[in-house]
Amino acid sequence: MLKLLLKRLALAVVTIAIVVTIVFLAVEALPGDACTSFLGRAAKGNRLIMCREEFGLDQPAMPRFIEWITAALHGDLGESMARRDTVAELVGIRLRNTLLLGLSASAIGVPLAIMLGVIAGLWRDRPLDIGLSTFAIIIMTIPEFVMGTVLILIFSIWLKWLPGIVITRPTAPLSDFLGDIILPVITLAGIMTAHIMRMVRTSVIDVMNSEYIKMAQLKGVPYWKMVRRHVLPNALVPTINLIALTIAWMLGGVVVIEVVFNYPGIGRLIVDAIGDRDLPLVQGIALVLASIYVGLNLAADILTLMLNPKLRTMKGH
């Protein structure tokens, strides 16, 4: 068990290291460097030399890479070129806002998805299941920005119930965002619910078809007791990984939703940073997002291990 955990942990670290290297290499492989792309047409003469000196780009790539990694390990992600602020600070405040959005959506989406998924799975192919499944597929296929735009149209333009776009400052206290996040959270939670619900439904159906459930039925275990004791534990454990994957995927999908609602989160920071060609900021965001992604998957792996007696008692492997 411990060996297995250590192995997973080592793999996670290796994955993050590879991600960082890929992003660094991608930036290095680009024509020009951070300074030429940031300064654009003004990239000549003294300004270019000064910029390169300031950001240490006059050094060869290898020492710079090592220096960046060493600094990053100490929590220093360097300085943004366009914003005259440290990357860590910029990313921190935006990440806070995105987490508020993501966690609120997960808090609503995950329980709702599990509930609906179990219902759809238990009443498979009945009108309720067909209705829920069709609805889920429609939400999954329609682009996020279309769903967001339609919600704005209905709730803020026609009904005038909710604000359509967020105008709160990025650094405002979290409580200021509470009114703003309703529509983005509905959009995000809707997509999450649809994805997770489908997985839970499949999992429940698989378990319902298994031999031990047939056995329980033959033994005359009352239906709801059987569902509670046998179906739910067995159906939900495999979905933990998928839920983590969906939440991690949302970190990418949230970009579009943040732009739709003008929400000052990390997604909009990416779009802005890339628009400004602010490469130190881009690198910092990539590192942070990749770490979250890998961390979530690791957490899901560990949780699955702890909940699965077969794996828990297994030695090594």
Partner 1 sequence: MSAEATDIDLRPPLHMRLLKVIESMWRQPSGKAGLTLLSIHLFVAIFAGLLATHDFAVQDASAIFAKPNAEHWLGTDNLGRDVFSRTLLGGRPALITTFFGTMLALFLGGFLGILLGFVGGTIDDVAMRVVDAFLAIPWLLLLLLIIAIFGTATIVMILTLGILYAVAIIRIIRAGTLDVVAQDYITAARTRGEKNVTIVIRELLPNVLDVVLVEGAMRWSWMLLTFSALSFLGFGVTPPTPDWGLMIASSRNFMSVSIWPVIAPIVALSTLIVGLNLSADALAKALGVDRARIGG
- Residues in contact with partner 1 by the rule CB under 8 A: 14-16, 18-19, 22-23, 26-27, 30-31, 37, 137-138, 141-146, 149-150, 152-153, 157, 202, 251-252, 255-256, 259, 267, 270-271, 274-275, 277, 282, 285-286, 289-290, 293-294
For partner 1, the closer of residues 104 and 283 by Cβ is: 283
- For the bound state, the minimum distance from the C-beta of residue 140 to partner 1, rounded and expressed in Å, comes to 8
Tracing tokens 């439904």 back to the chain, one arrives at 201
Residue 81 structure tokens: 């070129």
- For the bound state, the minimum distance from the C-beta of residue 18 to partner 1, rounded and expressed in Å, comes to 4
For partner 1, the closer of residues 149 and 308 by Cβ is: 149
For partner 1, the closer of residues 148 and 226 by Cβ is: 148
Residue 51 Cα distances to 40, 58, 308, 315, angstroms: 12, 9, 55, 55
- For the bound state, the minimum distance from the C-beta of residue 159 to partner 1, rounded and expressed in Å, comes to 12
For partner 1, the closer of residues 4 and 242 by Cβ is: 242
- For the bound state, the minimum distance from the C-beta of residue 191 to partner 1, rounded and expressed in Å, comes to 11
Burial letters 157-190, b for 16+ CB under 10 A, else e: eeeeeebbebebebeeeeeebeebbbbbbbbbbb
8 Å CB contact between 213 and 231: yes
- For the bound state, the minimum distance from the C-beta of residue 21 to partner 1, rounded and expressed in Å, comes to 8
Residue 287 structure tokens: 């590192």
- For the bound state, the minimum distance from the C-beta of residue 260 to partner 1, rounded and expressed in Å, comes to 8
Tracing tokens 């940073």 back to the chain, one arrives at 273
End-to-end CA distance of the chain: 9
For partner 1, the closer of residues 105 and 270 by Cβ is: 270
8 Å CB contact between 102 and 250: yes
8 Å CB contact between 124 and 205: yes
Q: Distance (Å, rounded) from C-alpha 65 to C-alpha 71?
A: 10
For partner 1, the closer of residues 275 and 309 by Cβ is: 275
- For the bound state, the minimum distance from the C-beta of residue 139 to partner 1, rounded and expressed in Å, comes to 11
Residue 258 CB contacts under 8 Å (≥ 6 apart), including other chains: 98, 101, 184, 264, 265, 266, 267, 268
Q: Distance (Å, rounded) from C-alpha 109 to C-alpha 194?
A: 9
For partner 1, the closer of residues 230 and 268 by Cβ is: 268
